[in-house]
Chain A
Amino acid sequence: MFPFILAKIARAALTIVLVMTFAFVVLRMSGDPAQVLLGPDAPQDAVDAFRERWGLNDPIWQQYLAYLEQILTFDFGVSMRDQSPALDLVLERIPATLAITIPALILKIGIGIPAGVYAALHRESVADRGVIMLSIFGFTIPSFVLGLVLVLIFAVTLGWLPSGGQDTWQHAILPIATLSIGGIGILARFSRSAMIEVLGQPYIRTAMAKGLPWRDVVWKHALPNAVIPIITLIGFMVGALIAGAVVVESIFSWPGVGRLIVVSVANRDLAVVQCLLLVIAASMVVANLCVDFAYGLLDPRLRQKRAAH
């Protein structure tokens, strides 16, 4: 079990180093932040002073090593715009984003999985066809279209809900709805097919043949097995909690991580963008690691296979 965990952790660390390197190389090679921040008409000595101040004159590998050294000491640099630490800027936005992504995740799981399982247990019924159609709509409608249509209906036409901002809890309703509808569709469809596959397995026939009530067959034999692939998908959704709301936050002017990404990218605020990339990649990688470990806890077969290695 231990070598397995170590291998997974090493792989996760490698992925993060790759992301870090990518972020550094692409962002540094692509343009001159001094020109962008100071404007094209800035006097030459101001540009030189700026380059000196941010170490932009050193060779790229020296900048990279300095960058790695900083990260190992949890120093992510300061925003070039207002000098505040990049990490603080990112961290202070996370609660706002989580305030809409976590309720959306709960809705996705709470509605998507039961709908999918119900559809699988009542195949070819009206409810099944309804779930399939709704789920296809759910993931083919882009979030910006869905968000704007919801604004048009509930804010502009009916006037029930505010269209943007973050003042009261009502402001969170439309962003949460926009975020969750697509995910409910995806999760419902996925749970349906996972459940259908499990229901076709021989052990289900055995359970039915030995006379177990249908409810026990579903709850004790089918569901626990169908849950395993579903966990993978939920892992992705957990990984996207921080970065999954870029478009939705833009539509509803919600001051979360997504807005910060768009704004700092537009300002070419290198330190903040790098810090964001790293925080986002780290959250995705950690979520995937947790999924890998959850498999072991949920599925005794995998545990034994790993122990045998």
Chain B
Amino acid sequence: MADTAAIAAPRLLTRTRIRMPWLVGLAVAWIALMVLTAIFADWLRPYDITAMNLSARLLPVGTPGYWLGTDELGRDVLSRLIQSVRVSLVIAFGATILSAVFGTTLGFLAAQFRGWVEHLVMALADFQAALPFMIMSLAVLAFFGSSMALLVCLMGFYGWERYARIARGLAISASAQGYAGAVVQLGATPSRVYLRHILPNVASTLIVSMTLTFPEIILMESGLSFLGLGVQPPQSSLGNMVGFGREYLTRAPWIMLAPSAVIVMTTLSISLLGDWLRDRLDPTIR
């Protein structure tokens, strides 16, 4: 196993290193900037996100000291934006990982046990696909009340059915191949076969699907927060900033435009990176 990892790693690197288009390079740079912003949010933001300055309300962009202007309560838009990037990214990261782990586990279970387990998993996947995610989340959030933990868990269900379908299909075809049969013959337990042997072989496809789901989760979370049912004030997320900025669309459009631009740039960057990774890594489309 250690041998295959040692061989696979450099090959992955050389494959990704050749000719990265400048647009993808730009996208990677933007994503890095956003991740650094999220990590160092506490040091970067000039003011506290709830610090109000009622004598400096609705200041326009470019005011010294408030480079992105202020909102209706005189709070610094740049500081709130930095904090929002952190909140939105944390939710999206957490949810992407939850959904990938949950979906992949169910997909592997379906592939291992077949029979009624597989039918159950597929019926649940159908159910998830039949109910628009937005509608389901609206119902759950409004009825349970919105909290950060619930929001991450709820978003963690976004797209699980895709991982489940992919993982099931890949695991079934992998078990038919020699290597899986060989380790089973050697007496490996099912969990060892799936985690140590099949997972590394199907990981690239799953990672690609994570990069494609990630921006959708950002959009879903910001949509819910925009409707007032996601992240609750005084905490702020990108969508909730747009939602509140909407009230001041005519007088202070920068409150809404700054987070909008960040959302679009971020989802655009991750989509570009995801597309490019898919073309490079995904064996199923070649």
Contacts and interface: CB of A to CB of B under 8 A. Distances in A.
Interface of A: 11, 14-16, 18-19, 22-23, 26-27, 30-31, 136-137, 139-145, 148-149, 151-152, 156, 240, 243-244, 246-247, 250-251, 261-262, 265-266, 268, 273, 276-277, 280-281, 284-285, 288
Given A22-B136, A243-B132, 10 more contacts: A15-B126, A30-B144, A144-B222, A144-B239, A148-B246, A243-B134, A244-B132, A246-B135, A262-B138, A277-B139
Nearest to B124: A18
A141 B135 contact: no
Contacts of B66: none
B130 A285 contact: yes
Contacts of B215: 140
Given A148-B249, A148-B260, A30 B143 contact: yes
A18 B139 contact: no
Nearest to A244: B132
A9 to B, nearest CB: 13
A31 B143 contact: yes
B242 interface: yes
Contacts of A16: 130
B226 A265 contact: no
Interface residue SS majority, chain A: helix
Q: Which of B135, B139, B249 has the most CB of A within 10 A?
A: B135
Contacts of A240: 132
Contact of B256 (A26, A142, A148, A246): A148
B184 interface: no
B249 A284 contact: no
Contacts of B246: 148, 251
B219 interface: yes
A15 B127 contact: yes
B158 to A, nearest CB: 15
A264 to B, nearest CB: 9
Nearest to A267: B142
A247 B220 CA distance: 11
A281 B227 contact: no
B131 A19 contact: yes
Contacts of A144: 222-223, 226, 239, 242-243
A104 to B, nearest CB: 16
B96 interface: no
Nearest to B275: A136
Contacts of B26: none
A114 B221 CA distance: 32
A11 B130 contact: no
Nearest to B141: A265
Contacts of B140: 26, 30
A169 to B, nearest CB: 23
Contacts of A268: 142-143
Q: Which 5 A-B pairs have the closest CB atoms?
A: A30-B143, A265-B142, A145-B260, A18-B127, A140-B267
Q: Which of B127, B134, B215 has the most CB of A within 10 A?
A: B127
Contacts of A244: 132
B142 A142 contact: no
B260 A284 contact: no
B130 A281 contact: yes
Contacts of B260: 145, 148-149
Given A243-B135, A261-B138, A14 B227 contact: no
Contacts of B227: 246-247, 250, 262
B256 A277 contact: no
Nearest to A23: B139
Nearest to B266: A140
A284 B130 contact: yes
